[in-house]
Amino acid sequence: MAATPMVKAEAVHKNFGRLEVLRGIDLEVAPGEVMCMIGPSGSGKSTFLRCINHLEKIDAGRLSVDGELVGYRQQGDKLYELRDAEVCRKRSEIGMVFQRFNLFPHMTAVENVIEAPLRVKRESRAVAVDLGRRLLERVGLAEKVNAYPNQLSGGQQQRVAIARALAMQPKLMLFDEPTSALDPELVGEVLDVMRGLAEDGMTMVVVTHEMGFAREVGDSLVFMDAGVVVEAGKPKEVLTSPRHERTRTFLSSVL
């Protein structure tokens, strides 16, 4: 039997009011796997990503991370909603990087990185700062430790955001279009950091429009449209010989 999947989705549904955003998602992400998700905007890929760390509640189906249900506890055949503290603890094990960075503007780069280790994990300041400096060095920002977010370029901000997520030593990293808000010449530096993470064996789910990245770094590629997974497989196969008409149309419009 294979190892427990890091992410396992079975018939996941999500509605916003009457709008069905996810209409039965089934997929699995193995530990160490890099899964890229592509699809037109409004296809539900970002929503699915946000369901994984319970920023959105799912309305039906089962979604688990590392063998544990997201947001619920099963007792017998009944599901109980988790208390806030438990939801927080589970979220702290999953890193998330946003399209618009969402760095805390009132804190310096290193303060952004050490905030969660200090307040959530309650690590000592010395340990946290040491970790923070090493992480910023890892994303190539050793000399920007004390800069405020608005003194950094978009690419630099996104790299701080990645360091901030890594500071909680997550077992899974979620990337929500991490390069979509960047100037074209800054995309490369962020993708390089992500490539390094993948090489170190991090499990990653990446919603992206970067087909090159998906092809080179991704272990699997999922194409979503209108709330369902249309096609999934090896990135090269999906990108070069898509089996579905919708995938073909989408790829021809973005490539």
Partner 1 sequence: MAAIVVLAIAAAIVYTIAAAIQSDPTAFGSGWAAVGHYVFHRLILQGIIVTLELTVLAMVIGIILGVILAVMRISPNPVVSSVSWFYVWFFRGTPVLVQIFFWFNLNLILPHIGIGIPFTSIWWQVSTNTLITPFMAATLGLGLNEAAYMAEIVRAGIISVEHGQTEAAQALGMDRLLVMQRIVLPQAMRVIIPPTGNETISMLKTSSLAFAASVTELFTRQQQIATATYAVLELLIVASIWYLVMTSILTVGQYYLERRFGRGTQRGLPMTPLQRFRRMLVTFHAPPPATQEVPAVLPSEHR
Instruction: Single out the segment in contact with partner 1 by CB under 8 A; choices: 24-32, 57-65, 130-138, 157-165.
Output: 157-165
Least distance in Å: CB of 176 to partner 1? 10
φ, ψ (nearest 5 deg) of residue 242: -60, 145
β-bridge mates for residue 33, sequence order: none
**Residue 92 interacts with partner 1 (CB under 8 A): yes or no:** yes
Residue from 168, 226, 228, 232 binding partner 1 (CB under 8 A) = 168
* Contact map string, positions 105 to 134, toward partner 1, x by CB under 8 A: xxx-------xx--xx--------------
Distance of CA 144 to the CA centre of its chain: 24
Task: Give 75 or 150: the residue with its C-beta nearer to partner 1.
Answer: 150
Binding to partner 1 by residue 41, rule CB under 8 A? no
CB of 157 to partner 1, least distance (A): 12
Determine the residue type at 64.
S
Q: Does position 181 bind partner 1 by CB under 8 A? A: no
* From candidates 5, 39, 71, 95, binder to partner 1 by CB under 8 A: 95
What is the C-alpha R_g of the chain?
18
**Judged by CB under 8 A, does residue 96 bind partner 1?**
yes
Which helix (H) or strand (E) element contains residue 249? helix 245-254
Residues 177 and 21: their CA atoms lie apart, in Å, by: 18
Question: Can you state the angle between helices 154-166 and 125-138, rounded to 10 degrees?
Answer: 130
Q: Closest approach of Cβ 18 to partner 1, in Å?
A: 22
Proportion of the chain in helix, strand, coil states, percent, rounded to 5: 40, 25, 35
Of the candidates 27, 34, 35, the one whose C-alpha atom is nearest the C-alpha of residue 8 is: 27
Secondary structure letter of residue 7 according to DSSP:
E
- The first and second tokens of residue 134, run together, are 């090493």
Q: Tell me which H or E stretch contains 47.
A: helix 45-52
Interface stretch with partner 1, choices 6-14, 82-90, 234-242, 247-255 (CB under 8 A): 82-90
Binding to partner 1 by residue 175, rule CB under 8 A?
no
Told to check if 94 binds partner 1 by CB under 8 A, we report yes
Total number of residues that touch partner 1 (CB under 8 A): 33
Q: Which member of 38, 82, 103, 205 binds partner 1 (CB under 8 A)?
A: 103
Amino acid 120 reads V
Closest distance between partner 1 and the C-beta of residue 94, in Å? Answer: 7
Measured from the CB atom, the residue of 148 and 188 that comes closer to partner 1 is 148
Helix spans in 149-226 (H): 154-166, 184-199, 211-217
- Residue with smaller CB distance to partner 1, 29 or 229: 29
CA distances from 42 to 94, 213, 224, 235 (A): 24, 21, 10, 22
Q: Which residues bind partner 1 (CB under 8 A)?
A: 53, 55, 84-85, 88-96, 98, 100, 102-107, 115-116, 119-120, 148-151, 161, 164-165, 168
